[in-house]
C-alpha cells in the first residue's frame, strides 16, 4: 500500500525494475500499427495470412524483449551483485 501512496504507478515501478517491459510493449504496438497501415497495400495476400504474419512478428519481438530482460536480470544478479559484495568485503 505504501508504494501507491508515493504517487508512483505500478507500471513505472515495474519499468524501473525491468526496463525491457516498456521496450517490449512499445515494439509490439509499433509492429501492429505498421502492419495495420500496410493492410491497404497487401496485394494478393489473403487477410488471414497477413494477420498471421503480423501476429508472429509482434510475438517474436515480445519474446525477444523478454529474453533480453531475463539476460539483463541474470547479469545483474550473478555478475554485478557478487562484484559489489566482493568490493564491500575488501573495504572492511
- pLDDT tens across 38-71, in order? 888 888 889 999 999 999 999 999 999 999 989 9
- Write the CB contacts of 38 (distance below 8 Å, at least 6 apart in sequence): 50
C-alpha cell at 15: 519499468
Q: What is the mean pLDDT of residues 34-41?
A: 88
DSSP assigned state of 65: H
pLDDT for residue 59: 94
pLDDT for residue 56: 95
- pLDDT tens across 78-92, in order? 988 888 888 878 887
- pLDDT tens across 2-13, in order? 545 566 788 788
Amino acid at each position: 500500500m505504501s508504494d501507491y501512496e508515493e504517487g508512483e504507478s505500478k507500471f513505472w515501478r515495474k519499468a524501473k525494475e525491468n526496463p525491457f517491459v516498456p521496450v517490449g510493449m512499445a515494439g509490439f504496438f509499433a509492429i501492429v500499427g505498421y502492419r495495420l497501415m500496410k493492410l491497404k497495400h497487401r496485394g494478393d495476400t489473403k487477410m488471414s495470412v497477413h494477420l498471421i504474419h503480423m501476429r508472429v512478428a509482434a510475438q517474436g519481438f515480445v519474446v525477444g524483449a523478454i529474453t533480453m530482460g531475463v539476460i539483463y536480470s541474470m547479469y545483474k544478479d550473478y555478475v554485478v551483485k557478487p562484484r559489489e559484495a566482493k568490493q564491500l568485503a575488501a573495504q572492511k
